[in-house]
Amino acid sequence: METWNISDLDVPPHKPAVLHSEVGGARAIAIHLPAGEALKDHEVHEHAFLHVHDGEVEIGQNGETTKGGAGFLAYFAPHERHEVRATADSRMLLILAPWPGEGRDLDFNA
């Protein structure tokens, strides 16, 4: 068993921390995004679950915006484009499954 307390992790801004990664399984990544900063419009090859541990974010997709604070969970299907903007300093947990998704470069580190 592996365990983490997201509140206690020292994750610097712009340096996502891979907590767990298992080929054929899933990848868990802790992210610290300062207020006003964004993960620009992007997509991933995997199913993606984004949990806001603390802070507040806006998710932009297809011209619409959804807001979420602590406890918010969003799901994105593979190749679903979106942007995540922090409206307050935010700590998030991203889970990608299966890891790696079809077409993903195995050297991807974040």
Nearest to 77 by CA among 28, 44, 99: 44
Looking at domain 32-102, which CATH architecture does it have? Answer: Sandwich (2.60)
What is the structure's pLDDT at 110? Answer: 44
What is the average pLDDT across 8-19?
A: 95
Domain ranges within the chain, ordered by starting residue: 32-102
Checking if the pLDDT of 109 tops 60, the result is no
What is the average pLDDT across 33-60?
A: 96
CA distances to 11, 77, 97, 99 from 47, rounded to whole Å, are 23, 5, 5, 9
Tell me the pLDDT tens digit for each residue of 48-107: 999 999 999 999 999 999 999 999 999 999 999 999 999 999 999 999 999 888 877 765
